[in-house]
């Protein structure tokens, strides 16, 4: 049991170190995937489009760096900026969303990439604290399992 707990502890430790070392690559990968999701955004509500809409609605943001990122997409040429960027759904018309200067007043202007990464970084202390707590319990479990094993081994020869 102690060996199994030690193995799980080492796997979690390695995963944490790898996540910390490659955090910049994770950010870069997220940014490129968000750019791809914007480029391939469509009305048919596929998973990527729904994810973009959810991020924009939840975090009150629009585009990757800012709302003008939508100008380079095929969706913008057809329908303008998506409605998920609107500050108020009642005050957003399709004509306003097709014109960037009018849309600036009606949509969220901040980009989603910075908001997502800053939200993730602000929650990292909570994740690190919970992980540290779990690691402490695992170490206590390893120590107690070793003590129990030692106790069983020592008392085995005294029972006669």
As a dihedral over the C-alpha atoms of residue 59, residue 63, residue 64, residue 65, rounded to 10 degrees, the angle is -100
- Residue 44: the pLDDT is 64
- Residue 43: the pLDDT is 63
Q: How far is CA 31 from the centre of its chain?
A: 12
Rounded average pLDDT over 92-116: 87
10-19, pLDDT tens digit by residue?
998 888 888 7
- Residue 143: the pLDDT is 93
Q: Please tell me the distance from the alpha carbon of residue 120 to that of residue 90, in angstroms, as a whole number.
A: 31
CA terminus-to-terminus distance, the chain: 28
Name the phi and psi angles at 159, rounded to 5.
-85, 95
Is residue 54 predicted with pLDDT exceeding 60?
A: yes
pLDDT band, very low/low/confident/very high, at 76 (cuts 50, 70, 90) = confident
Cβ neighbour number for residue 96 with a 10 Å cutoff = 19
- Residue 60: the pLDDT is 92
Rounded average pLDDT over 85-101: 85
From the list 26, 112, 27, 118, the residue with the least C-alpha distance to 70 is 112
Task: Show the domains of the chain with their CATH numbers.
Answer: 10-125 (1.10.1450.10)
pLDDT band, very low/low/confident/very high, at 48 (cuts 50, 70, 90) = confident
Is residue 144 predicted with pLDDT exceeding 90?
A: yes
Is residue 158 predicted with pLDDT exceeding 70?
A: no
**CA distance readout (Å), 106 to 80, 100, 137, 154:** 12, 10, 51, 76
Is residue 78 predicted with pLDDT exceeding 80?
A: yes
């Amino acid at each position: 049991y102690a060996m199994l707990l030690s193995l799980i502890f080492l796997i979690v430790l390695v995963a944490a170190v790898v996540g910390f070392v490659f955090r910049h690559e994770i950010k870069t990968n997220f940014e490129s995937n968000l750019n791809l999701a914007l480029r391939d955004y469509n009305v048919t509500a596929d998973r990527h489009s729904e994810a973009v809409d959810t991020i924009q609605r939840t975090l009150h943001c629009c585009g990757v760096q800012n709302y003008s990122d939508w100008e380079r997409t095929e969706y913008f040429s057809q329908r303008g900026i998506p409605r998920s960027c609107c500050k108020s759904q009642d005050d957003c018309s399709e004509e306003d969303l097709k014109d960037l200067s009018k849309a600036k007043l009606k949509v969220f202007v901040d980009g989603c990439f910075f908001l997502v990464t800053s939200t993730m970084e602000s929650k990292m202390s909570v994740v690190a604290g919970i992980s540290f707590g779990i690691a402490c319990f695992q170490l206590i479990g390893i120590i107690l399992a070793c003590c129990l094993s030692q106790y069983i081994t020592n008392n085995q020869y005294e029972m006669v």
